[in-house]
Structure 1
Amino acid sequence: MGNQQNGQGSDGSNQQIDIDATIRNGREILFQAFNWESHKHNWWRNLERKVYDIAKSGFTSAWLPPVTHSFSPEGYLPQNLYSLNSSYGSEQLLKALLQKMKHYKVRAMADIFINHRVGTTRGHGGMYNRYDGIPLSWDEHAVTSCTGGLGNRSTGDNFHGVPNIDHTQQFVRKDIVGWLKWLHDNVGFQDFRFDFARGYSPKYVKEYIEAAKPLFSVGEYWDSCSYNGHGLDYNQDSHRQRIVNWIDATGQLSTAFDFTTKGILQEAVKGQFWRLRDPQGKPPGVMGWWPSRAVTFIDNHDTGSTQAHWPFPSNHIVEGYVYILTHPGIPTVFYDHFFDWGNSIHDQIVKLMDIRKHQDIHSRSSIRILEAQANLYAAIIGDKVSMKIGDGSWCPAGREWTLATSGHRYAVWHK
């Protein structure tokens, strides 16, 4: 779609400058502030104690778990969208947390789950597809016909087992916009993360962003990479093209999680670093085509945590962070790695973030890949940082380089 075909990002065009008001200056570092088990641990109070560390480390935005009432404790089966009492804590505790984040200038990112919603009463066909007795009291016409409602067919993929929301209906979109504006203007969420973005047309994401005006948005467009009988294909262009097309169709207003980079990186660190250079000599994920819209990450509450649907190899976590925190794109750090995997990993991540900030690596920084072989990957980013991962030996040529940090299977230099 648009000018993204064949992997052409539009970072250089003049038209991009206006759009970039929403993407900011490319110096974000995001923090995913929960995992799949967080609802068991008095979460808003736990996070409030950690806000200072999150801010001091340099995170610009913290993505919180779903804050509204849900049929499931994790929050992803929403019901009463206007109730801020959840299994993560009370409305009062949430507001105290948001106040503290605001004080320390960490933006709060809301998890926006508008693909499906659990009904309160049975309607058409004996399904729970009515929402009586709670705000946004929709009837069966708000639910897609493919998931038991009287609405139109879905404009995306179905999330099975629960009623899927029909975004083609004007009244539904009006109510969603009202809710998003309330989260932004009244509750205090400046950033949005769109859950299960494959479930409805990206043109609605564009409409919602334009109406609610978050400072930063990221979509979860997650589908499968391409595999063959021997494992992951080297060429993942069709995978990254689908993510790029989704970003383009949001009017380029949203970023997207770079699932392509995650899929390739977690195979590369096992001794296949040749995967980290595509045939054009660029990084092989969305980051290589449209870095200002690529939100890179290693694991999240779905891929890692106790769900472990697609986990990053645990003994290579730091190499993964060395890659995403020194490279273009917008990196994300996962709660578990930062707070639960020991002080050493926490401190190594903070050091890498520090180098990124002080050498002014940002989402559009230039990159030259110098080595991509089985046991070694090396690159120079923004002309000020060089790095290597893997157990092959390498260091940058020239006396102007100083070792900034190093550890097991990695080293980073700056000028």
Structure 2
Amino acid sequence: MKRNHTMMQFFEWHVAADGQHWKRLAQMAPELKAAGIDSVWVPPVTKAISPEDTGYGVYDLYDLGEFDQKGTIRTKYGTKQELIDAIAECLRNGIAVYVDLVMNHKAGADETEVFEVIEVDPNNRNKEISAPFEIEGWTKFTFPGRGDTYSSFKWNHTHFNGTDFDAKGGRNGVFRINGENKNWNQNVDDEFGNYDYLMFANIDYSQQEVRREMLEWGKWLVDTLQCSGYRLDAIKHINHEFIKEFAAEMTKKRGEDFYIVGEFWNSNLEACREFLNTVDYQIDLFDVSLHYKLYAAALGGRDFDLTHIFDDTLVQTHPGNAVTFVDNHDSQPHEALESWVGDWFKQSAYALILLRRDGYPVVFYGDYYGIGGPAPVEGKKEAIDPLLYARCHKAYGEQDDYFDHPNTIGWVRRGIEEVEGSGCAVVISNGDNGEKRMFLGEERAGEVWVDFTHNRRESVTIGKDGWAVFPVNGGSVSVWALPDEAEEKPAAQDLDDAEKITKDSSGKKTR
């Protein structure tokens, strides 16, 4: 049988720019596996505009830390060989590796060009605010350090449809590149009228040679790294038809088990549904709606009605395509989409994504190991580890919800025969001390359960009728389950393998 799978986002925005991150991943692979992590999402692996850049200011897609470009051979995270070695070490430990792809834009061009543009309103990109005029833009990419190795494709302004800086005038703006059949792509998010343009030199996916080059690069990258899947960055800004084509080509290249998840940062479920329809449900999406629910719950305290925590979320409506998360590098403090789930609710939030039947949960590196930078945040490994252990060993079987009180909710997982000692009862409070009477089954009568979070020290005995009352501290979570020898020192038992996706007889994705 398939064990529960759990992903870790193996970076945060301020991870040390010391070129050692790939080495850290290789060294920590056994530890991650033991904790219950069996897939990692790693940051962009391609050469960026500087050695300190997180990788989202992407310069050369074919330079994985191999060529002397932008003042460095390595990337922020290490060299190409260190990356390949880290992925191989993860796979040896049964950990799948998903590589972050930045395909929306390019930055740090090698030369400027003069070309015609029309300036548009940043708040309505369909509104022109100038007549056509010439600018000097950073749009020519010749890759002098790499030359024609791996690809001879050179980028120029005809391959982009927008940029944000006029070197001639020395000013910023949103400049749509003018030309025959040149415009914003239409199959994108409609925020700001048309959200094709995000930053830097915006890749124009209406150009066939651009699509061909990006598809070839995607195939080259997976062959080079032997990774298990991709995380696609900023896909609401990219022609959705190209994302559909890209996913189909990668699956054709690597097989049905190649996993793809996209960052479609839109909490509107209808928009998510339309996107999934467009791409034929070939990829999963991060559940942005649930993230904002968890954020609202943390802000609202006892005024937030926990019975509605999953209303209008992707995991509720599209459980087979939902990747659930509490926080990430963009939502962490002082970053672009700051919406940080407060400390008091963090463990409860992780229980909500790790211990339920639906969704593919992600543990954020910053939550687990801490955040660096100007406003450091301590890691919560000790609070998350018991939940990872419970997910790996206990959270199986039929799920019954007891969402019947605005401040105290609970659910049970009945357990399965294939996982000895499995089954659990979870109770969360955002108000006062509470309790929840829940049914586990008459076959459980007499079992004595303990709280794996150690937030409660007493034990609970399941009654003859299969019911028991499970307590929880105010503003806290408790995870009740049958104790076992490993309970006092959690260490996840070996999971199946790095394969993430199977399909049941109906064709629905399962994990």
Q: Which bracket does the TM-score occupy, shorter chain normalised?
A: 0.7 to 0.9
Q: CA separation in 1, counterparts of 2:103 and 2:383?
A: 36
Deviations 1:21-75 (A, max 9, x none): xxxx794311000011125243222222211111122222111111110115111
**1:97-117 Cα distance to aligned partner (Å, 9 max, x none):** 112112112111111110111
Distance change in 2, residues 1:246/1:368 (3 Å): farther
Q: Look up the match of 1:20.
A: none
Whether the 8 Å contact between 1:37 and 1:306 is mirrored in structure 2 is no
Mapping for residues 168-183 of structure 1, pairs under 5 Å: 168-183=206-221
Indicate yes or no: 2:44 matched with 1:74. Answer: no
The aligned counterpart of 1:126 is 136
Pick from 125, 137, 144 the counterpart of residue 161 of structure 2.
144
Partner Cα distance (2:197, 2:55) in 1 = 15
**Deviation, structure 1 residue 322:** 1.0
The size of the alignment, in residue pairs, is: 372
**CA–CA distance in structure 2, aligned partners of residues 38 and 106 of structure 1:** 21
Give the 5 Å matches for 1:5-404. Answer: 27-41=4-18, 42-72=20-50, 73-85=53-65, 86-118=75-107, 119-123=109-113, 124=115, 125-133=135-143, 135=151, 136-145=153-162, 147-148=176-177, 150=179, 151-155=182-186, 156=188, 157-213=195-251, 215-223=258-266, 225=267, 239-269=268-298, 270-277=301-308, 283-304=311-332, 307=335, 309-327=338-356, 328-340=358-370, 345-359=380-394, 361=396, 367-371=399-403, 373-381=405-413, 384-390=423-429, 391-398=432-439, 400=444, 402-404=449-451
Distance of 1:48 and 1:316 partners within structure 2: 31
Instruction: Choose 1 or 2 for highest CA Rg.
Output: 2
**Helix, strand or coil for the counterpart of 1:114?**
coil
**Offset, 1:95:** 1.9
User: Does the C-alpha gap of structure 1 residues 382 and 303 become closer, same or farther in structure 2, counting only changes over 3 Å?
Assistant: farther
For the 8 Å contact 2:11–2:329, the answer to whether it is kept is yes
Of Structure 1 and Structure 2, which has the larger fraction of its residues in strand? 2
| Contact 1:197 1:221 survives alignment (8 Å) | yes
* Greater fraction helix: 1
Aligned-partner residue type, residue 477 of structure 2: Y
Contact 1:115 1:165 in 2 (8 A): yes
Counterpart residue identity of residue 77, structure 1: G
Deviation track 1:255-311 (CA, whole Å, cap 9, x = no partner) reads: 111010011122224224525427xxx654111111111111111111015527111
The list of structure 1 runs, each at least 4 consecutive aligned residues, that deviate by more than 6 angstroms after superposition, is 341-344
When structure 1 is superposed on structure 2, of 369-378 and 75-84 the one drifting more is: 369-378
The unaligned stretches of length 5 or more in structure 2 are: 66-74, 116-134, 163-174, 189-194, 372-376, 416-422, 456-472, 483-511
Contact kept in structure 2, 1:148 and 1:163, CA below 8 Å: no
| TM score, norm. by length of structure 1 | 0.81
Between the aligned partners of 2:11 and 2:32, the Cα distance in structure 1 is 13
> Residues 344 and 143 from structure 1, CA distance in 2 versus in 1: closer, same or farther, beyond 3 angstroms?
closer
The two structures, once aligned, show a CA RMSD in angstroms of 2.7
TM-score, length basis structure 2: 0.67
Deviation at 1:395, TM superposition (A): 3.0
CA contact (8 A) 1:36 1:305 kept: no
Q: Distance in 2 between matches of 1:126 and 1:320?
A: 49
Q: Distance in 2 between matches of 1:293 and 1:209?
A: 14
Q: Counterpart amino acid of 1:60?
A: D
CA distance in 2, matches of 1:290, 1:392: 33
Deviation per residue, 1:375-398 (Å, 9 max, x gap):
222223467433111144123334
Going from structure 1 to structure 2, the CA distance change for 1:147 and 1:113 (only over 3 Å counts) comes to: farther
3-state SS of the aligned residue for 1:301? Answer: coil
Could you tell me which runs of 5 or more consecutive residues in structure 1 were left unpaired when the two chains were aligned. Answer: 1-24, 226-238
Tell me: CA distance 1:187–1:319, structure 2 relative to 1, closer, same or farther (3 Å).
same
Secondary structure, in 3 states, of the residue corresponding to 2:106?
Answer: coil
In 2, Cα distance between the equivalents of 1:122 and 1:149?
16
* Counterpart secondary structure, 1:38: coil
User: 1:338 offset after TM fit, Å?
Assistant: 1.6
Kindly tell me: are residues 99 and 337 of structure 1, through their superposed partners in 2, closer, same or farther at Cα, counting changes over 3 Å? same
- Pick the aligned partner of 1:412 from 449, 469, 479: 479
Q: Letter of the aligned partner of 1:153 in structure 2?
A: W
